[in-house]
Amino acid sequence: MKTIAQILLTMTLALAIIAVCVFAAGDRQTLVPPPDAVAEAFVRQAAARRYDRVHALQSWGRREELSAAVLRLYFDPLFRFTGTVNQVDAELVAIDGDDARAVATAYGDLAEARFVFDMVRQDGLWKVYDVSTNPMLPPEQLGMRSFRGIARRAQASTGRRGTIFR
Amino acid sequence: MDLWRIIVRVLFGYVFALAVIRIAGKRTVSRTDVSSCVVLIVIGDMFDDLLWGDVPAAQFVVGIGALVLAHVTARLAVFRSGDRKWRQEAGGAGP
């Protein structure tokens, strides 16, 4: 029993240290996943069709707006177009207070897709509130037309405004 | 990714894991039974996630803490059941 109490005490102490670092000292990248790691995880989970996990990476407001089913409607056509994703690279663009921007590139068998993530810090963690894709490529090249059509259909069926892709 | 951030994560994870394993008892690592081996493999995998910033440090702490707590509790239960058996056998064999 003494051992169990000591382990619980050590865990509490470690969590307190983390809380001080994240909330009082304002740590944004060391003891919490940095924005580029969140962007990479987002693309990896979406490429693996794990939309419930993608859903959890979104900010509160976005989570209510876009369910896992709606995310599936958005991402499935894109990843059908890119083929099986073999590699994902992510890079931090900027952090400004509680806002951040990161870029992730998914390299598939057939094509590559580039995502720009806008993030916000909630409960000390970086969460995605907006994603835009392939700003440098023509929409036809990445099936953006059908993509937008799907977004419109999702919007009509759910009655919610889905603007994950600007 | 900044190298110094990796160093900070490694140091944090190392100190926490060392503290918890020492509290749990040196046998956790020196005894080479199946359950200790499983605990060490899982801790190693969790360390990898912390090192690359895939999970928040708080999740690492809760994950390792829960794992070691489960290990200690299971060990305690095994010890007590062995103790009971020994007493029963000793009682049965007695005059």
Task: Give domain status of residue B33, yes or no.
Answer: yes
Tokens representing B37? 């081996």
**Where are the extended beta strands (E) located within chain B?**
none
User: Average model confidence (pLDDT) for chain A?
Assistant: 82
**Residue B95 belongs to a domain:** no
Domain residue limits at B11: 3-80
Q: How far apart are CA A79 and CA A38, in angstroms?
A: 19
ipTM of the complex: 0.81
Query: Of residues B71 and A154, which shows the higher confidence score?
Result: B71
Which pLDDT tens digit goes with each residue over A88-99?
999 999 898 899
Q: Is the predicted pLDDT of residue A143 greater than 50, yes or no?
A: no
Cβ of A10 and B65 within 8 Å?
Answer: yes
- pLDDT value at A70 more than 70: yes
* Among B62, B83, B67, CA closest to B24: B67
**Low-confidence residues of chain B, pLDDT below 50?**
93-95
How much of chain A, in percent, has pLDDT values that exceed 70? 80
Q: Match 């010890």 to its residue by tokens.
A: B79
Backbone angles phi, psi at A109, to 5 degrees: -65, -35
| Structural domain contains residue B7 | yes
Average pLDDT over residues A111-128: 91
Number of folded domains that form chain B: 1
pLDDT at B83: 64
Contact by Cβ (8 Å): A121, A98: yes
Asked if residue B64 belongs to a domain, the reply is yes
pLDDT bracket for residue A42 (50, 70, 90): very high
pLDDT for res A162: 38
- CA dist A54 and A115 (Å) reads 14
B58, A15 contact by CB (below 8 A) = yes
Q: In this complex, do B23 and A36 lie within 8 Å of one another by their Cβ atoms?
A: no
> What is the layout of strands, in order, in the sheet containing A112-122?
A85-96, A99-108, A112-122, A125-133
B52 and A CB contact within 8 Å? yes
Domains and CATH numbers, chain A: 32-158 (3.10.450.100)
Cβ separation A15–B54 shorter than 8 A = no
Residues 6+ apart with CB under 8 A from A85: A43, A44, A47, A79, A106, A107, A108
How far from A33 is each of A67, A133, A152, A159, B78, CA to CA, in Å?
A: 23, 22, 33, 34, 38
CA distance A104 to A34: 13
Q: Pick A58 or A144 by higher pLDDT.
A: A58
* pLDDT confidence bin for A134, thresholds 50/70/90: low
- CB–CB of A118/A129 below 8 Å? yes
B10 and chain A: CB distance < 8 Å anywhere? no
The pLDDT of A20-24, averaged and rounded, is 93
Whether the CB of B27 is below 8 Å from some CB of chain A: the reply is no
Q: Give the per-residue pLDDT at A16.
A: 97
Nearest chain B Cα to A126, which residue?
B56
Q: How far is B86 from chain A (nearest CA, A)?
A: 22
Closest C-alpha to B16, from B53, B62, B56: B62
Report yes or no: A75 and A128 within 8 Å, Cβ to Cβ: no
Tens digit of each residue's pLDDT (9 = 90 or more) over B84-93? 666 666 765 4
